[in-house]
Amino acid sequence: MKTNINYTYLFLLVLLLILNACDQETKKAAHTEADFSFEEITITELQKGYADGTYSIRMVTQKYLDRIEEIDVNGPQLNSIIQLNPDALTIADQLDKELKEGKNRGALHGIPIILKDNIDTHDNMYTTAGSRALAGSKPLKDSHVAKLLREAGAVIIAKANLSEWANFRGELSSSGWSGINGQTKNPYVLDRNPCGSSSGSGAAVAAGLSLVAIGTETNGSIVCPSNANGVVGIKPTVGLVSRSGIIPISFTQDTAGPMARTLTDATICLNALIGIDSTDAKTPASSQHVKEDYTQFLKKDGLKGKRIGLYKRPLGRNFKVDTLFREAVAFMKSQGAEIIDIERIADNAVGGMSFQIMLYEYKDGLNNYFKSLGPDAKIKSLQDLIEFNKKDSIELKFYNQKYLEMAQEKDRLDSEDYKTTLANMLKGSRENGIDRVMNEHDLDAIVAPTGGPAWKTDHLNGDSFGLGSSSPAARAGYPNISVPMGFVGELPVGISIFGRAWSEPVLLEIAYAYEQGTKHRKAPKFLEK
């Protein structure tokens, strides 16, 4: 029996099916583009999109670069970014290729990250500390932090603005201002300050310019911008994260740490940053304490059975913050925590000793950093920097360089004054400070308001902090986590959870239980006032 086949009809049918399939793919791609939300997306959600093919790393990276253009340069002109990574899309393409080949570097594979611009990268970006003296400065190698992030598959998309020289240059400074990039704004209310010195990092994450940013802290510079920008900040124990290739202030107090919109994202990033570095003498001490995966401590019942000290000193300065803090403490009690009032942690003299240590170590650290830039660097010493600033038309426009000049007058680190002051400061902040209080009351952690609502940026009078609680943990070199606690009007404020050296696991348990039980995080509205 002979069958008659209408080949023209069959051809048209096949063509129609092909065109329909292509149309569906086009609609899917368009749908994906339209549905990609930056504001509150998490690392886990983005990884799911990579795994099921909803997103490509190149598409996501391009979207974040476009978002920076839209929010930071145009639109609200947040001014949180000093420079974009010109190689970001090339890196994204390589990481996409690896995924197609079945190679996945882990939780940070393809995740856009921003670095504070005092963290060295050996690529086509500069590292400036916000200073015109370092305009065009290219370090000879990656910082240890940048190296680990690259190995983990992160896409370093940009460098964030900061308070110049990490806010330790002179008097009456405005957090978030740098000579090389001007003033960063607070994304919640644009005439308010983002707090420093990791101001650009905090503002960028809050505004959805990346999932995570890396900040640095000597005293308050991770937790304060986290407070002011409504994000999570983790200041690790000094030694958990290497400082090699980070422009220094204090060898004793400096650390890098992650800032993100959720504690989970910050913790995932922390996992990638930890490890011993032979070029940072603080890191070997972490070997007996470091955990392979800190996300295991993110427990919704993490407050149950905890004994927590309520640090009272920051209270009484802003009744609106006090009210939010009392509500936070009441929630902790409702989840099974026991709260013990703490009047004092360390003697007042510790603050003055810490300042002197910072001056000593600043001179030594900066001179060593300038040497690391090689013989062609235009700034070769702290004295060179001071002289540059005197001649520059912008650098001393709003505030002076008194701290640089005071550091220049300090002796070497083998001086008896330095060694004695350091020993007394550490004893006062640790043995007679946090450790004493926690031992006396058998505490798991201490809590306090991180800070007050952001003040109006004022280049004439400088910063108006109002209140803060970063100093006890910062001076001791101990860990501190800030998470959102609520809002005063349209401005976010945070709560800090801090404690003994290497106590990140228990602090994460407490912080996560609080974050998940309250969910205070809200995206900024970029209000004019």
Which residues, at least 6 apart from 469, have a Cβ–Cβ distance to it below 8 Å?
311, 313, 314, 448, 449, 450, 451, 496, 498
Q: How many Cβ atoms sit within 10 Å of the Cβ of residue 299?
A: 15
The answer for 103, left when phi > 0, alpha when psi is -120 to 50, beta otherwise, is beta
Please indicate whether residue 116 is annotated as part of the active site.
yes
**Active site annotation includes 197:** yes
Q: Among residues 174, 175, 178, 221, which one is catalytic?
A: 221
Element (H, E) at 506: helix 504-518
User: Distance (Å, rounded) from C-alpha 318 to C-alpha 165?
Assistant: 30
* CA torsion, ordered 266, 297, 41, 88, to nearest 10 deg: 40
Residue listed under structure tokens 């049918």: 13
Cα–Cα distances in angstroms (integers) from residue 101 to residues 93, 95, 98, 148, 150, in the given order: 12, 10, 5, 22, 18
Q: Quick one: CA dihedral 79, 85, 86, 90, positive or negative?
A: negative
Among the residues of 231-381, which ranges form H helices? Answer: 263-273, 319-334, 349-372
Longest dimension (CA), the chain: 109
**Cβ contacts of residue 282 below 8 Å, gap of 6+?**
238, 239, 243, 251
> Which two structure tokens, joined as six digits, stand for 242?
């290497």
Is the CB of residue 272 less than 8 Å from the CB of residue 290? no
Which one, of 348, 362, 97, 396, lies nearest residue 249 by Cα? 362
Contact call for residues 127 and 159 (beta carbons, < 8 A) = yes
Options 197, 226, 242, 250, the catalytic residue: 197
Q: Distance (Å, rounded) from C-alpha 388 to C-alpha 379?
A: 8
For strand 307-311 and strand 255-260, is the pairing parallel, antiparallel, or unpaired? unpaired
Q: By the 8 A CB rule, do 204 and 116 touch?
A: no
Whether 221 is a known active-site residue: answer yes
The 10 Å CB-count burial string (b at 16+, else e) for 139-177 is beebbbbbbbbbebbbbbbbbbbbbbbbbbbbeebbbbb
Axis-axis angle for helices 504-518, 319-334 (nearest 10):
100
Interstrand relation of 255-260 and 212-217 (parallel, antiparallel or unpaired): antiparallel
Q: Looking at 56, 116, 173, 471, which residue is catalytic?
A: 116
Can you tell me the distance from the alpha carbon of 262 to that of 506, in angstroms, rounded to the nearest whole number? 17
Tokens 């791609």 correspond to what residue?
29
Task: Show which residues are catalytic.
Answer: 116, 197, 221
